[in-house]
């Protein structure tokens, strides 16, 4: 997809820099939008601000580049592609969602054909497409279906919005609906919706103008997660992972699960890291399994890349017999 597909709100960028009299700015973009960095830097420098574009990976608003901003002594972060998640940042931060300029009608119409078995449909999307939910709702209604949109809640700023690790807007209406329609690109968020709600989920991808179900992939992930839990039960030595990204540090949860593991006579080491990668975990060959208290999507989406089990917090509770598999499926994989 072209960078021109997204609205970077360049006029707002200029006004915010001028209003705040920012002299040094850090621009942060997720992977799919990084190509717009040089143009946005040029726009910012027109306002007299020395501008730096972060080239590091950015996985969400939880991955705000606070340490980088402080190291570079910037007085303003412009974070694109996500809605505000963190409050009271140490460095003033502006969030620009980068709304997609793409017609969703064709993809939604194709998705409706895949939703023919159900009458009541939950409608969800990301910040790039929240402005299209009314059109998608109308299309569902015209097809004789009832659309239900969850109110803004949790980390979601907008009604119907879902975030990679937060599906409260979907869960809040899960009992009212038979299936979900996700409007947006890719499988990532749709799989999260299905895992969080246990409901059939269909994607209406406006970029590729097509629709498809993620249910088969979700079943594969569920089998994979059960296998990881079963393998971790054999382990005696555990590493509990503490995320160092600005919105992923959950030290309290890490200590809590460490204590539970130790009460079950497991040997536990707390490990702090910014990037949870197979290469990083391979540096601890004596550890037989890990519990991840940072972003749960690392465990779910990259499982096949890790040589040893990397459980989420709730999966660790299942392994310890503190939660049943059925309860985990009911409560979802996100949160603790």
pLDDT digits (tens, 9 = 90+) for 204-235: 999 999 999 999 999 999 999 999 999 999 99
pLDDT at site 296: 82
Tens digits of residue pLDDT in 10-19: 999 999 999 9
88 pLDDT exceeds 60? Answer: no
Residue 89: pLDDT band with limits 50, 70, 90: low
154 pLDDT exceeds 70? Answer: yes
For the chain, what percent of residues have pLDDT higher than 70? 98
Check: CB of residue 293 under 8 Å from CB of residue 254: yes
pLDDT at site 335: 62
pLDDT at site 86: 67
Tens digits of residue pLDDT in 255-294: 999 999 999 999 999 999 998 999 999 999 999 999 999 9
pLDDT at site 317: 95
Q: Which residue has the higher pLDDT, 167 or 302?
A: 167
336 pLDDT exceeds 60? Answer: no
pTM exceeding 0.85: yes
Tens digits of residue pLDDT in 142-153: 999 999 999 988
For the chain, what percent of residues have pLDDT higher than 90? 78
Which domains does the chain show, CATH number per domain? Answer: 3-96 (3.40.50.11840), 105-213 (3.40.50.11850), 219-331 (3.40.50.11860)
């Amino acid at each position: 997809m072209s960078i021109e597909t997204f609205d970077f709100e360049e006029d707002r960028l200029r006004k915010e820099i001028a209003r705040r009299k920012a002299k040094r700015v850090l621009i942060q973009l997720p992977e799919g939008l990084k190509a717009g960095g040089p143009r946005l830097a040029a726009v910012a420098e027109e306002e007299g601000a020395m501008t730096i574009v972060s080239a590091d990976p950015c996985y969400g608003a939880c991955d705000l580049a606070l340490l980088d901003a402080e190291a570079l002594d910037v007085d303003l972060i412009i974070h694109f592609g996500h809605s505000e998640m963190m409050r009271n940042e140490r460095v003033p931060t502006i969030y620009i969602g980068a709304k997609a300029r793409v017609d969703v009608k064709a993809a939604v119409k194709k998705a409706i054909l895949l939703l023919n078995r159900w009458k009541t449909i939950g409608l969800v999307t990301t910040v790039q497409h929240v402005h299209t939910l009314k059109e998608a709702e109308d299309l569902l209604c015209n097809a004789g279906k009832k659309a239900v949109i969850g109110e803004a809640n949790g980390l979601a700023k907008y009604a119907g919005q879902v975030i990679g690790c937060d599906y409260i807007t979907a869960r809040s209406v899960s009992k009212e609906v038979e299936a979900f329609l996700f409007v947006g690109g890719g499988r990532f968020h749709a799989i999260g919706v299905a895992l969080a709600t246990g409901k059939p989920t269909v994607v209406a991808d406006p970029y590729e103008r097509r629709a498809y179900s993620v249910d088969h992939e979700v079943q594969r992930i569920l089998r994979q997660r059960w296998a990881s839990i079963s393998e971790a039960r054999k382990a005696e030595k555990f590493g509990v992972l503490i995320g160092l990204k600005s919105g992923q540090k959950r030290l309290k949860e890490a200590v809590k699960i460490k204590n539970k593991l130790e009460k079950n006579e497991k040997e536990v080491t707390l490990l702090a890291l910014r990037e949870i990668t197979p290469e990083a975990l391979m540096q601890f060959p004596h550890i037989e399994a890990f519990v991840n208290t940072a972003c749960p999507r690392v465990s779910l989406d990259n499982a096949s890349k890790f040589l040893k089990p990397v459980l989420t917090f709730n999966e660790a509770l299942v392994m310890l017999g503190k939660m049943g598999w059925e309860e985990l499926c009911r409560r979802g994989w996100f949160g603790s």
